[in-house]
Amino acid sequence: MSMSARPEPRPGVMKIDAYVPGKSAAAGVAKVHKLSSNETPLGPSPKAVEAVRNTDHLELYPDGSATRLREAIAAKYGLDPSRIVCGAGSDELLSLIAYAYVGPGDEGIFSQHGFLVYRIAILAAGGTPVVAEEKNHRTDVDAILAKVTERTKIVFLANPNNPTGTYIPFDEVKRLHAGLPSHVVLVLDAAYAEYVRRNDYEAGLELVATAENVVMTRTFSKIYGLASLRIGWMVAPAHIAEAVNRIRGPFNMNGPAMAAGIAAVQDEAHVAKAVEHNEQWLEWLTKEIGSLGLTVTPSVANFLMITFPDEPGRTAKDADAFLSGRGLILRRIDAYGLPHALRLTVGGEEANRLVVEALRDFMKGGSDA
């Protein structure tokens, strides 16, 4: 018997670097534009806000099965509500899927600059994270397939990916699925799906409906503007939904969140407005920032990755300090293995124009110090 002096967490736990959220304040600056967490500048549907205000009976436990929310989502996407599971953000579901399918000795694969929560979820479940190289900051299906071993239990794919903003066409997703052994769970994380305007993109509902090993996760945090309420959902084959339902907390969704989610999913006009805003400003930002001599990775989501020169005074770290001084908060992405880049969320018009102006001054060598 071990005689450790104090409780020790399981081995994987201490290998985790805790997730660090985007900053939301800048010292000494009155007006701050937070462009660091891919939140929508349009806010939530007013109908969702009203639904939260109208929730009462906070003394009562919420519906532990999230029945009405699942039905509202199912109606919108033409799905079977029994195959939907809701969670406190899609983060919770990503972890629950890992807990259900990964254990010590098992491996989980994700791509080189893939969303950080995958590594955390795999390690927390006791498994071993396996990283597949990307090509040009894009998921490389062959690199993922080359990493598959008999110990592989799960593959996480963010499509589009955060923080790169790149995507792979649905044909490539299908090729990935076809190359995986049938016991491996393929998780399609489509947190930014609503923003994508590409004919060869599909979030992958068709694959979830026809395969026994594909799960899709979605969120109300991005285009629906409800990040604060923590609402995510997944759709899966019945046996995977059942496994996740067994291990989730019995009341993992709260009443105000569910009420807001139902109202939000029914407000299609609000989503359409957000898509239109993003289309316009993503293109504008890409063009304007690219014209300053900075490298912008083509994005299909509501954020973009800007790569800075590796020269003193011009680095991503310098740019971050310069922009913060003007109240413009972007995201450092060193933790994603991208120390030379910053991630910028598409903001409202004022913020977008201020960012371009600030980057122009930064590249001219201007100083606000």
Ligand X SMILES: Cc1ncc(COP(=O)(O)O)c(C=O)c1O
Q: 127, 204, 232, 347: which one contacts ligand X (CB under 6 A)?
A: 232
Rounded to a whole number of angstroms, the minimum distance from the CB of residue 161 to ligand X is 7
Q: 98, 158, 257, 359: which one contacts ligand X (CB under 6 A)?
A: 158
CB-closest chain residue to ligand X: 89
User: 239 exposed, middle or buried (CB, 10 Å; 0-12, 13-18, 19+)?
Assistant: exposed
Position 225 contacts ligand X (CB under 6 A)? no
DSSP 245: H
- For residues 261 and 221, the answer to whether their CB atoms sit within 8 Å is no
- For residues 230 and 62, the answer to whether their CB atoms sit within 8 Å is no
Position 196 contacts ligand X (CB under 6 A)? no
Q: 36, 90, 95, 345: which one contacts ligand X (CB under 6 A)?
A: 90
Position 115 contacts ligand X (CB under 6 A)? yes
Q: 152, 162, 297, 302: which one contacts ligand X (CB under 6 A)?
A: 162
Position 338 contacts ligand X (CB under 6 A)? no
Position 261 contacts ligand X (CB under 6 A)? no
DSSP 147: T
- For residues 204 and 216, the answer to whether their CB atoms sit within 8 Å is yes
Of 84-92, 139-147, 288-296, 353-361, which part binds ligand X (CB under 6 A)? Answer: 84-92
Position 278 contacts ligand X (CB under 6 A)? no
Q: 95, 139, 152, 219: which one contacts ligand X (CB under 6 A)?
A: 219
Q: 221, 286, 297, 324: which one contacts ligand X (CB under 6 A)?
A: 221
Position 321 contacts ligand X (CB under 6 A)? no
Per DSSP, the residues of 257-288 read HHHHHHHHHH-HHHHHHHHHHHHHHHHHHHHH
- For residues 355 and 344, the answer to whether their CB atoms sit within 8 Å is yes
- Pairing verdict, β 295-297 and 232-235: unpaired
* 78, containing H or E segment: none
Of 111 and 362, nearer to ligand X (C-beta) is: 111
Q: 41, 89, 225, 327: which one contacts ligand X (CB under 6 A)?
A: 89
Of 7-15, 83-91, 167-175, 317-325, which part binds ligand X (CB under 6 A)? Answer: 83-91
- For residues 286 and 296, the answer to whether their CB atoms sit within 8 Å is yes
Position 330 contacts ligand X (CB under 6 A)? no
Q: Which residue has the tokens 């900051």?
A: 137
Cβ atoms < 10 Å from Cβ of 52: 17
End-to-end C-alpha distance for the chain, whole angstroms: 60
As separate numbers, helices (DSSP H) first and strands (DSSP E) second, the chain gives 12, 13
Q: Residues in contact with ligand X, total (CB under 6 A)?
A: 13
- For residues 85 and 236, the answer to whether their CB atoms sit within 8 Å is yes
Of 192 and 322, nearer to ligand X (C-beta) is: 192
Rounded to a whole number of angstroms, the minimum distance from the CB of residue 97 to ligand X is 12
Residues 6+ apart with CB under 8 A from 178: none
Rounded to a whole number of angstroms, the minimum distance from the CB of residue 313 to ligand X is 31
d(CA 251, CA 248): 8
Of 345 and 354, nearer to ligand X (C-beta) is: 345
Position 227 contacts ligand X (CB under 6 A)? yes
d(CA 43, CA 33): 14
Position 194 contacts ligand X (CB under 6 A)? no
Rounded to a whole number of angstroms, the minimum distance from the CB of residue 86 to ligand X is 11
Footprint of ligand X on 30-49 (CB under 6 A): 38
Name the residues that contact ligand X, by CB under 6 A: 38, 89-91, 115, 158, 162, 189, 191, 219, 221, 227, 232
